[in-house]
Structures are given as C-alpha cells and as structure tokens.
Chains A and B, each alone.
Chain A
Amino acid sequence: MEGIQLDLLSEDMLESMTPMEKIRHILDEVRNGKILVVEKGLTPNEQTKLIEMTMTEISPEDFSGIEIESYPVKQNYTIFNRFFGKNTVKTRLTVIGPANQLKTIKKDRDLISALVSSRS
C-alpha cells in the first residue's frame, strides 16, 4: 500500500533520549518522508537546536527544511521553582514533517489543522 507514514512519538520514548538524540531522530525520520506527532513536544532549547540542525541540512533539490507546529509553552510560575532556578516550562504537542509534504492550514491557541501530501 502506498501512503504516508505517520509516527506518534510518546513522551516515554523521548524521555529516554538526550536532546541531540531526539533531534537526530526527528530529522532522520522527517528526511525519510515521515510525519511525526510528538506527544510532549520539545523544550525551547531543543527547538532552537532543531532549527539550527535543519538549516545545516538544507540543500537545493534535496531538502528544503521542515514544517513544525506546536502550541505556546505553558509556564509554571511558582516562586519556589523560580527561586531554585527550576526550568518548569511545559512543552506541548508538536507536529513535524518535511516542508514539501506538510502544510499548516490553520492554527490557533488550541487547534492545529494541517494538510499532508505525498512527495512532490
């Protein structure tokens, strides 16, 4: 059967990986044409790392980058956490795919709507 592979990455799976392992895994899968739905998303630091890695891999004719959509992170504003410098940013569901196959149609605070097409 021809089609597009969709992988749902659980929080447990990503928790066992280091940030670079996560990003390598995501980019490898996306470059193979997969669409990934990541349960808890990436931290802001991982998001910038993913952007950097994506930029280094872009090449004409071959790979034009990724489409990625997530919701704004939620912050945990307790004084206790702030005082002890805990990073309590709550990351949220994220969808990632090849830029030439995944197009975001509409996005608002609580809904992401996307169009997936086969390789162009």
Chain B
Amino acid sequence: MGLMSKLGFSHLFNRIFRKKVSRIGIYGPPNAGKTTLANRIVRDFTGDAMGPVSPVPHETRRVRRREGVQIESNGSKVKLDVVDTPGLATKIDFHDFMAFGMTEDEAKRRAKEATEGVIEAVKWLDDLDGVILVMDATEDPYTQVNVTVIGNMEARKLPLLIVANKIDLPTASPARIHSAFPQHPMVPISALAGQNMDMLYDKIADRFG
C-alpha cells in the first residue's frame, strides 16, 4: 500500500506543495482530556494556555483556535493552528450535571450549550487538515463517537492521529485502543503528567508536517 492509497491525493498534494500551516482539530468524547492536551501543547511551544479544564463533562462548549503554534521535534518543525473542540456525544442529559452539584437551572443551561457545542465541533470537521482523536485509555474505545470521527477522516482522506490519554491511571489500556483501530497510528500519553510528549510531537511532525 503506497502513500497515495493510504492517505489520498490531497494529502500527497499538500506534502509536495508544503502548505505553510496545518489546521488540526483535537476531537474526542467529553472528558477525554482534549483541553488538557491542547493546553500542554500550546504551553510547551508558546508559553500560555488554551482553555479551562474540568472533571465535569462538556466543559468546553465553544470551539477555540490557537493560530501558528510552531512545534519542533528532533529537528523537524511544523506550524499548526490548534483547534480545541467540545466533546462529541449522541446524548446529553442535564441530570448528569446536577450530580456534580449544579442547580437545575445551571444544569439545563450547560446541557443546552453543550448541544450547541457538539454541532459546532461537527461543522468544524469540514475545515481541517487533520485530526488528533483523544481517547480516555481507561474506557471502552468502541464508541460511536470514535467510529464517526475516524469514518469521517477516512472518507475525507485526511490524516488522523489517535492519542490514548490518561496512561498514568492503573486501568489504562492503550493496547485495547490499538487493537480497535489498528489501521491508524496511536500514541499513548498522559496529558496531565506530561508523559510521552516527545513521542507525540515526533508523530505530529511526521503526520501533519
């Protein structure tokens, strides 16, 4: 299988005529650690942060974009627009937020904003050069959200990098993620502890450069 059959023509085209900046979306289910990862990437290369992080799902409810983040690893450089997206879901129940101590009104407002955030995240899929799909490695990888993101990137012939996050936790299993989607490259990391970040930057430069 050649490069062309694997990634498609547009990717090959971009490789030859090096587009200056690649716009990369960070996708995944709520709570996977997308913003934690975006913060770490942006902090490592620019010094500041991207957005708030929380154990309550649907913390990010608006897409945020950080332009021109220059990533360097082992001599190769790549310039990215980093797009942090709201967690994708097929269901949102405001009662789940009340379990975190929110009032009914707060919970309903958060649920409404969360539904809008999901729509915004889905619409952004049309305007990207590649995706980092973040999964919580302690959870079952065979979810509709993962299947949908991967299917969309394959259909668009755009590069995808899977991140198996939270490997600092004892029940994490990056191997399970790899066996679920063996056709895509995967990097096991802890965005929180900063584990394996160099390995991730190498892969990012390789995949999206």
Contacts and interface: CB of A to CB of B under 8 A. Distances in A.
A64 B93 contact: yes
B98 to A, nearest CB: 11
Interface in A77-98: 77-79, 82, 87, 89
Given A55-B116, A64-B91, A107 B140 contact: yes
A9 interface: no
A19 to B, nearest CB: 13
A72 B144 CA distance: 9
B125 interface: yes
B142 A44 contact: no
B91 A67 contact: yes
Interface in B80-116: 88-94, 108, 111, 115-116
A55 B118 contact: yes
A47 B91 contact: no
Given A72-B181, A77-B1, A107-B142, A66 B91 contact: yes
B2 to A, nearest CB: 8
B119 A52 contact: yes
Q: Is chain B's binding surface mostly helix, strand, loop or mixed?
A: helix
A48 B5 contact: no
B151 A47 contact: yes
Contacts of A72: 142, 147, 150-151, 180-181
A82 B151 contact: no
Given A73-B147, A89-B154, A51 B91 contact: no
B91 A65 contact: yes
B91 A99 contact: yes
Interface string A97-112: 0011000001111000
Interface in B1-49: 1-2, 4-6, 8-9
A73 to B, nearest CB: 5
A60 B94 contact: yes
Contacts of A108: 142, 180
Given A64-B91, A72-B147, A58 B8 contact: no
Given A55-B115, A56-B115, A78-B5, 15 more contacts: A44-B151, A45-B152, A47-B147, A51-B118, A52-B119, A68-B144, A72-B150, A72-B180, A73-B147, A73-B150, A77-B6, A89-B155, A99-B90, A108-B180, A109-B179
Interface of A: 43-45, 47-48, 50-52, 54-56, 58, 60, 64-73, 75, 77-79, 82, 87, 89, 99-100, 106-109
23 contacts: A47-B147, A47-B151, A48-B152, A51-B148, A52-B118, A52-B119, A52-B122, A55-B115, A56-B115, A64-B94, A65-B92, A66-B90, A66-B91, A69-B143, A71-B147, A72-B142, A78-B5, A79-B4, A89-B151, A99-B91, A100-B93, A107-B143, A108-B180
